[in-house]
Structure 1
Amino acid sequence: MSYGSPWGTIKKIWSWVWMPLLVIIIAIGFTQLVAKPTTVDGPSMEPNLKNGEKVWAFKTAPIHHGSVIVFNAYGVDPELASEKLYVKRVIGMPGDKVTSSQGTIYVNDRPINQSYISKKEQNKSGGNWDLKKLAKKNDWKTNNDTLTVPKGQYFVMGDHRSVSNDSRYFGFVPRNKVLGVVKVFWWTGNTTEQGKYNIDKQWKHFYQAGGQSE
């Protein structure tokens, strides 16, 4: 009785498994090198991102003023005892001077466009401050004596200003903590079309005067 050659059996098994295996390899490579799926945790980016919403963090996408980023806040937020991902909007880039006056945020003395949030939330930005005043008020552990964002770091804020735990309270986010820039797709969550625009493209009109910020 012939059972066939071992090689024939291997070829038959391979014909069944090669396609699923290839898909798995491509998926792993994509999430490791290109983009990582992330779930929004909490209300700090409302109304543009909701709690539990699924987004993608693109690792090689450029970071602009107004970009929404995902970063590992462990070691950044001193209240954390373990790794946790935060989603926030970049307000200050390296070298920027960031100030606030009566709800208006200024970057390098230019008022920024905050049309992505309500006037009420704009007024919750924390009153009148500059980076040095924030550092003193909230006892930042590092870079607590500067008026500009240090090299290789970012100043970030949540869109839901009244509840967001962000750079106003813990200071700057180092570049090596950033996982990527957030992009929203129609199948990933419950964001409105305006919300998607405010996440994906608002950076193009970062300043009140309009036009691209970069």
Structure 2
Amino acid sequence: MSSVREDRTIKSRPKEELVRKSVPSNKRRKKKKLSKEEFEKRKKKKRKENIIEIIKFMFPIVIFAVFVFFFILNTSPHMVDGDSMKPTLLNGDRVIVRRTKEPKRYEVITFKPPVKSEFQYVKRIIGMPGDLVWTEGNDLFINHQAESLPKASELSAANELPDGTIKINVSEESLDQMSQLKKIPKGHYFVLGDNRNNSSDSRAFGLVDGQAIEGVVSFRFAPFDHIGWIK
């Protein structure tokens, strides 16, 4: 007796969708209202992050600027102490000094004075090498335009003095030095403070040797409301 195998066909059910469709809702989630303390905390955090980003951005620029100023341009920072250069420079001003061996007339320089001092002086160049000089009494006359000294009879007459002549009252010490000269020697300078009533300068100690000059005051970087080039 033969057996019969019955084939059973099983119909597979359709797979159920596993992804549920989101049901649209008219209700929106309400944002959590921050307290005043939380708001200030977040504000400070954001401000701190902004400052950090600014520092990260500015740091390489500052380093590069320092490198340029102090190495490529051969400069050094100084702080002004005193009022001898008012109104050009004020007490406490911070300036950049550009080192140079050949300063020009009317430039402001820093130098080691020919007197005992722990500090460098800052003054303006008035007399340059080659300028004509002569004295009368306690007065010194400097001229960079005239080709020859005026006649003795003309020394007292201001209207007879050559154009461009500067008249300066000097000390006995400075007078002893300057009266021996007809021209300011090579490599030497006559300097004055802009605040003539409160300045120890060439009127007191005579000429400044060029070897003692550090450089020219070129830029003021503090205080911030007075930043700018020095003239």
TM-score past 0.5 threshold: yes
TM-score in terms of structure 2 length: 0.53
CA 1:45–1:176 in 2, change beyond 3 Å: closer, same or farther? same
Write the deviation string for residues 151-191 of structure 1: whole angstroms up to 9, x where unpaired: 11110000001111001110111111111111124x32378
Partner of 2:189: 154
CA 1:37–1:140 in 2, change beyond 3 Å: closer, same or farther? farther
Q: Distance in 2 between matches of 1:40 and 1:159?
A: 14
Partner of 2:88: 48
Q: Percent identity?
A: 34
Q: Distance in 2 between matches of 1:88 and 1:63?
A: 12
Q: Tell whether the 8 Å contact from 1:94 to 1:153 is kept in structure 2 after alignment.
A: yes
Q: Distance in 1 between matches of 2:174 and 2:103?
A: 27
Partner of 2:126: 91
Q: CA deviation at 1:45?
A: 0.4
CA 1:139–1:94 in 2, change beyond 3 Å: closer, same or farther? closer
1:37 partnered with 2:77: yes
Partner of 2:143: 107
Equivalent residue runs for 1:1-214 within 5 Å: 23=63, 27=66, 30-31=69-70, 34-60=74-100, 62-73=102-113, 76-77=114-115, 80=116, 82-98=117-133, 106-108=142-144, 109-111=162-164, 125-126=168-169, 134=170, 137-138=172-173, 145-185=180-220, 187-189=221-223, 199-200=230-231
Q: Tell whether the 8 Å contact from 2:80 to 2:90 is kept in structure 1 after alignment.
A: yes
Partner of 1:13: none
Q: CA deviation at 1:112?
A: 7.0
Write the deviation string for residues 41-67 of structure 1: whole angstroms up to 9, x where unpaired: 111100111011111110138511111
Partner of 1:117: none
Q: Which has the higher contact order (CA 8 A, sep 6+)?
A: 1
Partner of 2:157: none
RMSD across aligned positions (CA): 3.8
TM-score in terms of structure 1 length: 0.56
- Equivalent AA in structure 2 for residue 155 of structure 1: F
Q: Tell whether the 8 Å contact from 1:90 to 1:154 is kept in structure 2 after alignment.
A: yes
Structure 2 alignment gaps of length 5 or more: 1-58, 145-161
Aligned with 1:151: secondary structure? coil
CA 1:183–1:29 in 2, change beyond 3 Å: closer, same or farther? closer
Aligned residues: 151
Rg (Cα) greater in structure = 2
CA 1:171–1:188 in 2, change beyond 3 Å: closer, same or farther? same
Aligned with 1:110: secondary structure? coil
